[in-house]
């Protein structure tokens, strides 16, 4: 009977109240401050650097130039109208462009 008495008693390490779970502070993403209106340095970078990118999309402009999404769409339309970039894929959600070759620039 001595074994049953020992087994019935909870051992000090496994019994008793557990400590409350501490919730760790969650990481909060910093709010990105993107431009809503083009300033002159960004405008110059847009027409100098963007036509040299191999892959051009709205998200790429937002990320690299820190533009607002609607401003990036307008900038892409302007670059396409000037013949500096050409479309690869058109989709209702995302349009993908690439740089125009030098032969295409001379024709336009």
User: Tens digit of pLDDT for each residue in 3-27?
Assistant: 655 555 555 566 667 777 777 777 7
Give per-residue pLDDT as tens, 75-89.
999 999 999 999 999
What's the chain's average pLDDT? 83
Comparing C-alpha atoms, which of 105, 59, 62, 64 is closest to residue 86? Answer: 105
Q: What is the mean pLDDT of residues 36-53?
A: 93
User: What band does 71 get if pLDDT is binned at 50, 70 and 90?
Assistant: very high
Q: Phi and psi (nearest 5°) for 29? A: -70, 135
At residue 24, φ and ψ (nearest 5 deg) are -75, 155
Q: How far apart are CA 71 and CA 58, in angstroms?
A: 9
First CA to last CA distance, the chain: 100
Q: What share of the chain is helix, strand, coil (3-state, %, to 5)?
A: 45, 15, 45
pTM tops 0.85, yes or no = no
Query: What is the rounded average pLDDT of the residues 43-60?
Result: 94
């Amino acid at each position: 009977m001595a074994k049953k008495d020992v087994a019935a008693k909870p051992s000090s390490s496994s019994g008793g109240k557990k400590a409350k779970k501490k919730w760790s502070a969650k990481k909060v993403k910093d709010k990105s401050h993107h431009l809503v209106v083009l300033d002159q340095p960004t405008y110059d970078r847009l027409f100098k650097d963007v036509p040299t990118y191999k892959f051009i999309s709205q998200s790429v402009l937002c990320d690299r130039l820190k533009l607002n999404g609607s401003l990036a769409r307008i900038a892409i339309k302007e670059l396409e109208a000037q013949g500096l970039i050409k479309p690869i894929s058109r989709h209702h959600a995302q349009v993908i462009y690439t740089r125009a070759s030098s032969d295409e620039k001379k024709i336009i």
